[in-house]
Amino acid sequence: METENLSYPWYALRVKSRYENTVAIHLQGRGYESFLPLYKCQRRWTDRFKEIELPLFPGYVFCQFSPLNRLPILSIPGVVHVVGVGRTPIPIDESEIAAIQAAAKSGLSREPWPFLQVGHKVRIEYGPLCGLEGILLDFRGRQRLVISVTLLQRSVAVEVDGAWVRPMSQQHRACSGRVSPEPFPQTSPA
């Protein structure tokens, strides 16, 4: 059992389909710090609509542990493997996991989103997500901040107020790889 989880990095655990809650409960029962971000979704049954909670990252649970002592983690029912390269676990970037945790605690509407790498990066200046950075999108008339976990190639969209955001400086903006040519000087026909 882990006693001092705070010094360990966060790792993503690949789990069997629909085992996310079970794995998170087992991890907590064994003394590990786990994180399973959820979102609310309406599903239709034959006679009614019901609001249920689903994982923001289906098939993944985040956990803090020592990579040298991962056997107790791998023995939990439903855990497939620790995400990494080969047999070497790769930790989740601290700023990315902190952003996902802040979004989950904010109480704002959120949902899974396709992974994005290119776009206008913004910084949230006000509200419950103050200090977070992400990509701002306009979807169905509502502005959303897209927060990504690069290792998993997955993203989450959190609904934000447009007045909360500030564009990041040019040097921090993601590059699309395209260089737009300078406009040619206008000359009038002689």
Tell me what pLDDT residue 123 has. Answer: 87
d(CA 54, CA 36): 10
d(CA 76, CA 23): 7
Given a contact cutoff of 8 angstroms between Cβ atoms, the answer to whether 131 and 92 are in contact is no
Considering the domain 93-174 in this protein, what is its CATH number? 2.30.30
Predicted TM-score (pTM) of this structure: 0.74
Q: Which fold has domain 1-92?
A: Alpha-Beta Plaits (3.30.70)
* Residue whose tokens read 């983690």: 73
Tell me what pLDDT residue 142 has. Answer: 81
Per-block mean pLDDT, blocks of 10 residues, the chain (190 long): 66 97 97 96 89 95 96 97 94 95 92 72 88 83 87 92 76 33 36
Boundaries of every domain in the chain = 1-92, 93-174
- The amino acid present at 28, given as its one-letter code, is Q
Each residue of 48-82: b (16+ CB within 10 Å) or e?
Answer: eeeeeeebbbebbbbbbbeeeebeebeebebbeeb
